[in-house]
Amino acid sequence: MILVTLALVFTQLSLLAFGGGAAILPEMQHQVVEVHHWMSASEFSAMFAMAQAAPGPNMMIVPLVGWHVAGLSGLLVTMFAKFVPSSVLAIFALQFWNRFKAHPWRSRFEEALKPITVGLVLVSAWIIADASAHNALLVGVVVISTILSMFKKVHPLWVMLFGAIAGACFL
């Protein structure tokens, strides 16, 4: 039964992943933590951090959640459910979208989607920061990491190294 639930949750997330994987992070966290109680918010946040530190796609959290919930079977089910439906949908959508290359509404539609995607990514960041920053030092790490990433254009690996060193030295 748990594998069916994982498949349903991650298929739904797959089809909602408009704007990339980060856009569904708030709903994934809601489903995994609040609806199904498969892990705590801090466990989800730690798992997300671990997934982001790993090489590969930024949605490595999906198989990690599956593994945490149901072992190897859960890993396989969540990967299939998250990546296959959206990939198939993207193939068909791209074929449809390419038929309207010259239409003026296409560029207006694309422009209108940009702020929505940015908003969804910001909500994702807020949820992870809220679950991670439990004291003033961690809030400081979040703020400094954000500043380094946004305004100084520091490579993400250096920002992660900064956070790891700060955590190791002060926590």
Measure CA 90 to chain center.
Answer: 18
Q: Which one is predicted more confidently, 164 or 171?
A: 164
Task: Decide: 51 and 18 in contact? Cβ < 8 Å.
Answer: no
- The sign one gets for the Cα dihedral 150, 124, 62, 141 is positive
**Does position 44 have pLDDT exceeding 90, yes or no?**
yes
**Reported confidence tier of residue 21, pLDDT bands at 50, 70, 90:** confident
Both structure tokens of 122: 């910001």
Average pLDDT over residues 7-15: 95
Which DSSP state fits 101?
T
Q: Express each pLDDT in 52-102 by its tens digit.
A: 888 877 789 999 999 999 999 999 999 999 999 999 998 998 898 888 888
- The sign one gets for the Cα dihedral 1, 71, 69, 13 is negative
- DSSP one-letter string for 19-30: T-GGGGHHHHHI
Q: What is the dihedral of CA 149, 155, 156, 161, to 10 degrees?
A: -110
